[in-house]
């Protein structure tokens, strides 16, 4: 049996195998995924009060192998003892705590200067650095990294100077758009059935995960240690556990965020303008070879609107 036949027998396809690494000990490696949660905008009480939401999200992670996520905090949400205490629960549970700027500015607006944006990063750093699990990872709000090369490079230089790394997303998604629909429905009808939102959410996240993983394999020739974007919201308080079960049922391996960020791919700094989106999207864009597979922005509520309307969400 030659190597090609051997691969076929194993049913792997040539896709995910590194040349030279093939032997009888070869087993297909699971696709790996870590959970990263943005914003920490905890001050909402629809269906669950803030402490219940916090507990629900933490419990979903704990009950899935004590999975450690990363939480990217917009520090304006730490303006009270209540918010600070809830973040301490994340700290005590061993999750990675990181910077998402103070006021969550849209860097690609021509009204936001690199100076104002970097001052906003520094302002969050001052507040969040005292948490023991804090690490110098920065996630750009809206995944927007600059509408000009000058701005992009100025912010990157600031991050480097201050020892920060980019806390990239590999799998971008629009959980926030589904959350908007869910919130509106529950505001009008507190007893509404939430299952259709759950089902749409799970299908959406799985679909986007497959898209970005496929794109990674095309652009890099391999899968990566994924970091999926989700938000601190009711949707995840209710259904994060189901989402984690879904990935496991598809054969994906849940890994700690700390582990995911070790993938060398996260060091990349694609020179595209406008800069940002998922790091996989940006790397694909930079090659100029995958434009048929790329839309801009990578994710948006617009793309989900018709589907959600049709389902009556
Ligand atoms: Zn955000």
pLDDT tens digits along 60-102: 999 999 999 999 999 999 999 999 999 999 999 999 999 999 9
Type and span of the H or E element at 138: strand 134-138
Do the domain assignments include residue 20? no
Between the CA of 141 and the centroid of ligand 1 the distance, in Å, is 4
Number of structural domains, the chain? 1
Instruction: Give the pLDDT score at 19.
Output: 45
Between the CA of 12 and the centroid of ligand 1 the distance, in Å, is 37
Phi, psi dihedral angles at 302 (to 5 degrees): -55, -40
Question: CA quadruple 142, 145, 151, 156: dihedral positive or negative?
Answer: positive
Between the CA of 138 and the centroid of ligand 1 the distance, in Å, is 11
Between the CA of 140 and the centroid of ligand 1 the distance, in Å, is 7
Q: How far apart are CA 141 and CA 154, in angstroms?
A: 16
DSSP class of residue 265 equals: G
Type and span of the H or E element at 254: strand 253-254
Region label for 214, one of left (φ > 0), alpha (ψ between -120 and 50) or beta (otherwise): alpha
CATH number, domain of 121, equals 3.20.20.370
Between the CA of 154 and the centroid of ligand 1 the distance, in Å, is 21
Per-residue pLDDT for 35 more than 50? yes
Do the domain assignments include residue 289? yes
Instruction: Give the pLDDT score at 197.
Output: 98
Per the structure, the complete domain to which residue 274 belongs is given by 31-310
| pLDDT > 70 in the chain, percent | 91
Q: How far apart are CA 48 and CA 234, in angstroms?
A: 8
pLDDT of 41-67, one tens digit each?
Answer: 999 999 999 999 999 999 999 999 999
Instruction: Give the pLDDT score at 26.
Output: 55
Instruction: Give the pLDDT score at 27.
Output: 67
Per-residue pLDDT for 271 more than 70? yes
3-state helix, strand, coil in the chain (%, to 5): 50, 10, 40
Between the CA of 44 and the centroid of ligand 1 the distance, in Å, is 16
Between the CA of 57 and the centroid of ligand 1 the distance, in Å, is 17
Residue 84, token pair as written in the block:
């600070």
Between the CA of 246 and the centroid of ligand 1 the distance, in Å, is 24
Average pLDDT for 283-287: 98
Instruction: Give the pLDDT score at 3.
Output: 46
Do the domain assignments include residue 42? yes
Do the domain assignments include residue 13? no
3-class DSSP state of 1 = coil
Between the CA of 290 and the centroid of ligand 1 the distance, in Å, is 27
pLDDT of 18-31, one tens digit each?
Answer: 444 444 455 678 99
Between the CA of 8 and the centroid of ligand 1 the distance, in Å, is 43
pLDDT of 222-266, one tens digit each?
Answer: 999 999 999 999 999 999 999 999 999 999 999 999 999 999 999
Do the domain assignments include residue 9? no
Q: Hunting for tokens 């948490």 — which residue is that?
A: 131
Between the CA of 168 and the centroid of ligand 1 the distance, in Å, is 12
Between the CA of 21 and the centroid of ligand 1 the distance, in Å, is 40
Do the domain assignments include residue 259? yes
173 against 25, higher pLDDT: 173
Do the domain assignments include residue 23? no
Arithmetic mean of pLDDT over the chain: 93
Between the CA of 62 and the centroid of ligand 1 the distance, in Å, is 23
In angstroms, the first-to-last Cα distance of the chain is 54
Do the domain assignments include residue 141? yes
Between the CA of 145 and the centroid of ligand 1 the distance, in Å, is 13
Q: Other CB atoms closer than 10 Å to residue 63's CB: what's the count?
A: 12
């Amino acid at each position: 049996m030659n190597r090609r036949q051997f691969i076929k027998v194993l049913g792997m396809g040539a896709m995910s195998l590194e040349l030279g690494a093939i032997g009888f000990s070869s087993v297909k490696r699971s696709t790996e995924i870590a959970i990263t949660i943005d914003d920490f905008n905890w001050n909402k009480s629809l269906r669950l009060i803030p402490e219940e939401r916090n507990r629900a999200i933490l419990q979903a992670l704990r009950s899935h192998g004590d999975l450690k996520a990363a939480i990217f905090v917009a520090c304006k949400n730490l303006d009270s003892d209540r918010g600070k205490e809830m973040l301490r629960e994340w700290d005590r549970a061993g999750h990675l705590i990181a910077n998402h700027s103070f006021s969550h500015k849209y860097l690609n607006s021509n009204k936001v200067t690199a100076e104002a944006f970097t001052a906003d990063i520094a302002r969050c750093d001052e507040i969040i650095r005292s948490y023991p699990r804090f690490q110098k990872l920065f996630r750009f709000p809206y995944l927007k990294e600059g509408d000009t090369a000058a701005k992009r490079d100025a912010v990157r230089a600031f991050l480097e100077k201050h020892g920060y790394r980019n806390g990239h997303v590999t799998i971008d998604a629009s959980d926030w758009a589904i959350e908007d629909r869910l919130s509106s429905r529950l505001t009008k009808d507190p007893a509404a059935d939430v299952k259709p939102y759950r089902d749409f959410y799970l299908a959406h996240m799985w679909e986007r995960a497959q898209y970005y993983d496929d794109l990674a394999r095309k652009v890099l020739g391999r899968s990566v240690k994924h970091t999926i974007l989700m938000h601190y919201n009711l949707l995840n308080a209710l259904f994060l556990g189901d989402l984690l079960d879904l990935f496991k049922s598809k054969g994906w391996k849940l890994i700690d965020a700390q582990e995911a960020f070790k993938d060398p791919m996260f060091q990349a700094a694609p020179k595209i303008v406008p800069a940002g989106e998922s790091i996989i999207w940006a790397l694909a864009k930079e090659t100029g070879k995958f434009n048929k597979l790329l839309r801009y922005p990578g994710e948006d509520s617009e793309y989900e609107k018709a589907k959600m309307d049709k389902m009556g969400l």
